[in-house]
């Protein structure tokens, strides 16, 4: 019975998906019903996780691990998904994507992420990864009538399938050289030097780097971000990134903790490459979603810099970073839902010209969000980068810190360029008055958290105490 209680959130989520699917099939025009039902399911799962918070328990022959680390990320994913559902509801209806399958596919991907986060075994981890990936393939190409969306979906499917294959090959190699699929047993096996296992680790890192769109496995990101509908891009930018980074931390902290010297160099390279490419490539972009794609690549570079330290403080700084990153992106994408002129949604940066003259509150929201993304004090984004750089400097990785600071300056350029367009250029596009309380509430809440984060910058850190082994 105890085993059932520990896996109750996953069971509830699965049964909720089945119930929502039946509701979608049996009711006409069931999108709104399924959407509301999905939000209720996610809220119910949050309650179950919080009700059983804490502890460090392993079940099902130690293949399923329930601890504060997995619980924290599950809560983060669930809250993010709820806000994405709430803020994107009108956009989905306007784009005629209001099919009942839409929220159900997202729920399936969340279920896959849950198994990934709690996996203490290579087999369970891979099953969770594939459940997540299969749902994301469909989401990327859900706008079938749009050529760009279909192209993005095919590109994501092909490249993601390749990365999954490499990751599976890595898992097979790791099992072959260590004789176990359990993370704890693998960790013990890797105390002694094992060249084969190091090869396996490289393949696994390649697969995981693809999932978080880190360089050089980022090539799908700009096309998918631009091609997919904005609500799907919002989900891609936030939820899978959180799950992917959590899994990377889990692998580095458990099975690979005894070969830190081998993987540290790889992570440092990926981190530096992501920061540089993401910062430089974003400068010339004219589509705001494509710009945010390169921005997310550079942000993943900063997050991986914390992982590269291989220390508890580094992992903690990465978790703080991804939490604030999620808040910034949810607010930014909520702003994109308001970029509507003559009944059509626009994605061009030039359309924001002179926005402050027409809609000062909307312009001010962009100001806070982009300043935070640039890491300008005293906003939340500054503290996110501050904790990362502090953990890197503490571990005497000075080159990584210097490159990180230089790329921050470069990335500040294109964020400030958009602010200049909003505040100092002549008004070109008159946006419609979108009277949607849910979108505006999401933007307000995100901006408020980012603006007031300086009052208690250690608030997330206090939640993360005693999270790691």
pLDDT, tens digit (0-9, with 9 covering 90-100), for 307-354: 999 888 899 999 999 999 999 999 999 999 988 888 788 888 888 888
Average pLDDT over residues 300-311: 92
Query: What does pTM read for this prediction?
Result: 0.94
In this predicted model, what pLDDT tens digit does every residue of 93-111 receive, in sequence order? 888 888 888 999 999 999 9
Query: Which residue ranges make up each domain of the chain?
Result: 2-463
Average pLDDT over residues 363-370: 92
Percent of the chain with pLDDT over 90: 46
pLDDT at 465: 65
In this predicted model, what pLDDT tens digit does every residue of 127-186 receive, in sequence order? 999 999 999 988 888 887 788 888 888 888 888 889 999 999 999 999 998 888 998 888
Mean pLDDT across the chain, nearest whole number? 88
- Asked which of 20-24, 164-168, 250-254, 342-346 is least confident by mean pLDDT, the reply is 342-346
pLDDT at 211: 87
Annotate the chain with three-state secondary structure: CHHHHHCHHHHHHHHHHHHHHHHHHHCCCCHHHHHHHHHHHHHHHHHHHHHCCCCCEEECCCCEEECHHHHHHHHHHHHHHHHHHHHHHHHHHHCCCCCCHHHHHHHHHHHHHHHHHHECEHHHHHHHHHHHHHHHHHHHCCCCCCHHHHHHHHHHHHHHHHHHHHHHHHHHHHHHHHCCCEHHHHHHHCCCCCHHHHHHHHHHHHHHHHHCCCCCCCCCHHHHHHHCCHHHHHHHHHHHHHHHHHHHHHHHHCCCHHHHHHHHHHHHHHHHHHHHHHHHHCCCCCEHHHHHHHHHHHHHHHHHHHHHCCCHHHHHHHHHHHHHHHHHHHHHHHHHCCCEECCEECCEHHHHCCHHHHCHHHHHHHHHHHHHHHCCCCCHHHHHHHHHHHHHHHCCCHHHHHHHHHHHHHHHHHHHHHHHHHHHCCCCCCCCCCCCHHHHHHHHHHHHHHHHHHHCCCHHHHHCCCCCC
pLDDT at 342: 81
Q: Which residue has the higher pLDDT, 116 or 196?
A: 116
In this predicted model, what pLDDT tens digit does every residue of 392-427 receive, in sequence order? 999 888 899 999 999 999 988 989 999 999 888 888
């Amino acid at each position: 019975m105890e085993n059932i209680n520990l896996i109750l959130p996953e069971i509830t989520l699965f049964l909720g998906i089945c119930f929502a699917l039946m509701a979608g099939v049996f009711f006409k025009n069931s999108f709104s019903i399924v959407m509301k039902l999905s939000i209720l399911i996610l809220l119910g799962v949050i309650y179950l996780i919080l009700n059983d918070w804490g502890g460090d328990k392993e079940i099902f022959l130690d293949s399923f691990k329930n601890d504060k680390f997995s619980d924290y990320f599950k809560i983060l994913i669930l809250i993010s998904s709820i806000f994405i559902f709430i803020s994107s509801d009108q956009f989905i209806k306007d784009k005629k994507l209001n099919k009942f399958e839409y929220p159900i596919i997202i729920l399936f991907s969340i279920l896959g992420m849950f198994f990934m986060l709690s996996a203490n075994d290579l087999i369970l981890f891979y099953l969770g990864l594939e459940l997540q990936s299969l749902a994301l393939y469909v989401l990327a190409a859900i706008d079938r009538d749009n050529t760009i969306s279909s192209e993005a979906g095919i590109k994501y499917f092909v490249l993601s399938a390749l990365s999954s294959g490499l990751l599976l090959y890595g898992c097979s190699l790791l099992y072959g050289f260590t004789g176990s699929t359990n993370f704890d047993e693998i960790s013990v096996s890797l105390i002694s030097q094992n060249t084969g296992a190091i090869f396996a680790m490289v393949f696994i890192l390649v697969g995981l780097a693809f999932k978080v769109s880190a360089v050089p496995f980022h090539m799908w990101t700009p096309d998918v971000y631009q091609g997919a509908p904005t609500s799907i891009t919002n989900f891609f930018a936030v939820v899978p990134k959180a799950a992917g980074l959590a899994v990377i931390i889990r692998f580095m902290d458990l099975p690979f903790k005894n070969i830190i010297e081998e993987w540290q160099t790889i992570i440092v390279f990926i981190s530096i490459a992501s920061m540089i490419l993401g910062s430089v490539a974003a400068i010339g972009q004219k589509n705001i979603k494509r710009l945010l794609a390169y921005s997310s690549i550079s942000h993943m570079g900063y997050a991986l810099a914390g992982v590269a330290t291989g220390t508890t403080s580094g992992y903690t700084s990465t978790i703080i970073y991804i939490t604030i990153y999620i808040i910034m992106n949810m607010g930014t994408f909520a702003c994109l839902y308001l970029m509507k002129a003559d009944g059509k949604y626009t994605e061009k940066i030039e359309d924001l010209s002179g926005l402050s003259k027409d809609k000062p509150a909307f312009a001010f929201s962009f100001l806070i969000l982009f300043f935070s993304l640039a890491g300008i004090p005293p906003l939340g984004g500054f503290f996110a980068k501050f904790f990362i750089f502090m953990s890197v400097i503490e571990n005497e990785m000075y080159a990584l810190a210097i490159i990180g600071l230089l790329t921050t300056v470069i990335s500040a350029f294109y964020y400030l360029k958009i602010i200049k367009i909003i505040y100092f250029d002549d008004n070109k596009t008159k946006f419609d008055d979108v009277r949607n309380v849910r979108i505006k509430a999401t933007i307000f809440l995100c901006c408020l958290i980012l603006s007031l984060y300086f009052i208690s910058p250690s608030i997330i850190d206090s939640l993360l105490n005693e999270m790691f082994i």
